[in-house]
Structure 1
């Protein structure tokens, strides 16, 4: 491997995987929800944040809508 590379002649090429890159965000979840996903992730042998991402992605792809009613 070279000690130094010259990228000055490289054309400005966009990353084709840019849309797949994850964006860090802050989200507030209650303790019971986090515990649920952590337990499930441990059973599956995967990080709990990845599991939450997979679940939310499935909801988005299938356009799942939450059905709830406010208590009167």
Structure 2
């Protein structure tokens, strides 16, 4: 079976020198699991909390220190 011009074009369609800027990509709203939310931190807060684990740890401590609702 011989190659047609379309076949050779499709192989070369994605060249290795393409530079993708994944920072501009939009999150897939269907990929999130149960009860997952994307929260965007302000830049000054993001400098202090560099991981989701750090943010969650502080928020859990804050929740524990809050008075219980009756």
- TM-score normalised according to structure 1 size: 0.40
Asked which structure has the greater CA Rg, the reply is 2
- TM-score normalised according to structure 2 size: 0.41
